[in-house]
């Protein structure tokens, strides 16, 4: 029997769990939260849609009872707080690092063989922390960011071309941030046709710009971070693991020489299957793309350095 745990029953975690249960990605989904009653209530609410939507998966909620997460095949960590007014970057990273580290350690007590999918922000740094704190092999710690950024890239491409987003190929690599992500326009295509054959340079530049501020745009509109696409992106990644789909998904993973980088977790094209990260694919970046990737890696490292400054690592 397949089992997935989602830690954090906020907007993103609950959306992820809902997509997982509706699509019957796993036989059982467990949603865990620190706030009493929230995960239990949302799980019950989702369960009551089964007769309407016709799914057979089960979902349960629990408050800080990690025993209920035992033997999970995959654990999605969405826990953490958003940056509040007046809060420094160091303070945000310090709080979320403590949460993610604690969650990962508690999860491994009951599911030592699990694969961890990190959603918590800053995502690249939290993925790096989870890798270092748990000591798990690199294939078992995966950050979700590239899957979300690529979905947004395809969305804006589809709008610009008036095309079906499911028929568009587009990938975003690099750090999961407004200034660090790299939409790979050279590789983007629509039904096998390069998007550059359909869109002019200015149109394509606008798509890239819209993609890079995709999260900030939604925060401006909603007054808080987005949740439907992030939750669905995490579920998409989990499905490729549970069903051994071996999809090529840009994910934040540990690099050991790939793309010229070491000792960093950052978004690159990955084959995702039952073993988690199964292969990192070399997309043969050109000189301009590699320069952008190197710059992105430097920015991610700068954030990672905060972990050492606050003595989390």
Q: Does the pLDDT of residue 150 top 90, yes or no?
A: yes
CA 282 – CA 119 distance, rounded (Å): 24
Q: Which helix (H) or strand (E) holds 51?
A: helix 50-53
Q: Which helix (H) or strand (E) holds 77?
A: strand 74-77
pLDDT of residue 310: 86
pLDDT of residue 1: 95
Q: Does the pLDDT of residue 265 top 90, yes or no?
A: yes
Residues in the chain: 313
The residues spanned by each domain of the chain are: 3-145, 146-309
The first and second tokens of residue 77, run together, are 């960590």
pLDDT tens digit string along 69-124? 999 999 999 999 877 777 777 788 999 999 999 999 999 999 999 999 999 999 99
pLDDT of residue 132: 96
- Look at residues 114, 2, 13 and name the one whose alpha carbon lies nearest to residue 62: 13
Helices (runs of H) and strands (runs of E) counted in the chain: 10, 14
pLDDT of residue 90: 77
Query: Any residues with CB less than 8 A from the CB of 104 and at least 6 apart, and which?
Result: 77, 116, 130, 133, 134
Q: Taking the model in full, what pTM does it have? A: 0.97
What architecture is the 3-145 domain classified under in CATH? 3-Layer(aba) Sandwich (3.40)
End-to-end CA distance of the chain: 36
Measure CA 99 to chain center: 17
Reduced to 3 states (helix: H, G, I; strand: E, B; else coil), residue 212 is: helix
CB 233 within 8 A of CB 245: no
146-309 fold: L-2-Hydroxyisocaproate Dehydrogenase; Chain A, domain 2 (3.90.110)
The first and second tokens of residue 143, run together, are 């950050």
CA 80 – CA 253 distance, rounded (Å): 20
pLDDT tens digit string along 180-222? 999 999 999 999 999 999 999 999 999 999 999 999 999 899 9
pLDDT of residue 162: 97
The first and second tokens of residue 75, run together, are 């654990």
Place of tokens 């999970």: 72
Residues with active-site annotation: 176
CB 143 within 8 A of CB 249: no
Q: Does the pLDDT of residue 66 top 90, yes or no?
A: yes
- Compute the average pLDDT of residues 47-70: 98
The first and second tokens of residue 219, run together, are 């925060």
Percentage of the chain beyond pLDDT 70 is: 99
């Amino acid at each position: 029997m397949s089992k997935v745990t989602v830690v954090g029953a906020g907007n993103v975690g609950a959306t992820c769990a809902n997509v997982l249960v509706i699509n019957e990605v796993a036989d059982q989904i467990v949603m865990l939260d620190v706030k009493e009653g929230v995960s239990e209530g949302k799980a019950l609410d989702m369960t009551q849609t089964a007769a309407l939507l016709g799914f057979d998966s089960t979902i349960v909620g629990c408050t800080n009872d990690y025993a209920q997460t035992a033997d999970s095949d995959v654990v999605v960590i969405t826990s953490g707080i958003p940056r509040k007014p007046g809060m420094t970057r160091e303070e945000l990273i310090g709080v979320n690092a403590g949460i993610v580290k604690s969650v990962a350690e508690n999860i491994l007590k009951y599911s030592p063989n699990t694969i961890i999918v990190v959603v918590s922000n800053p995502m690249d740094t939290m993925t790096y922390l989870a890798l270092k704190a748990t000591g798990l092999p690199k294939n078992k710690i995966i950050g979700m960011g590239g899957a979300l950024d690529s979905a947004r890239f395809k969305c804006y491409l589809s709008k610009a071309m008036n095309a079906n987003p499911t028929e568009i190929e587009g990938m975003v690599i690099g750090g999961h941030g407004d200034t660090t992500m790299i939409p790979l326009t050279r590789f983007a295509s629509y039904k096998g046709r390069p998007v550059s054959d359909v869109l002019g340079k200015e149109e394509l530049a606008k798509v890239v710009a819209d993609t890079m501020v995709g999260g900030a745009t939604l925060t401006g509109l909603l007054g808080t971070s987005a949740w439907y696409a992030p939750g669905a992106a995490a579920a998409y990644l989990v499905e490729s693991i549970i069903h051994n789909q071996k999809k090529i998904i840009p994910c934040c993973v540990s690099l050991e020489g790939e793309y010229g980088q070491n000792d960093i977790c950052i978004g690159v094209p990955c084959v995702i299957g039952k073993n988690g990260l199964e292969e990192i694919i070399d997309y043969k970046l050109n000189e301009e793309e590699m320069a952008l990737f190197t710059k992105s890696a430097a920015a991610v490292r700068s954030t990672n350095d905060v972990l050492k400054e606050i003595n989390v690592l």
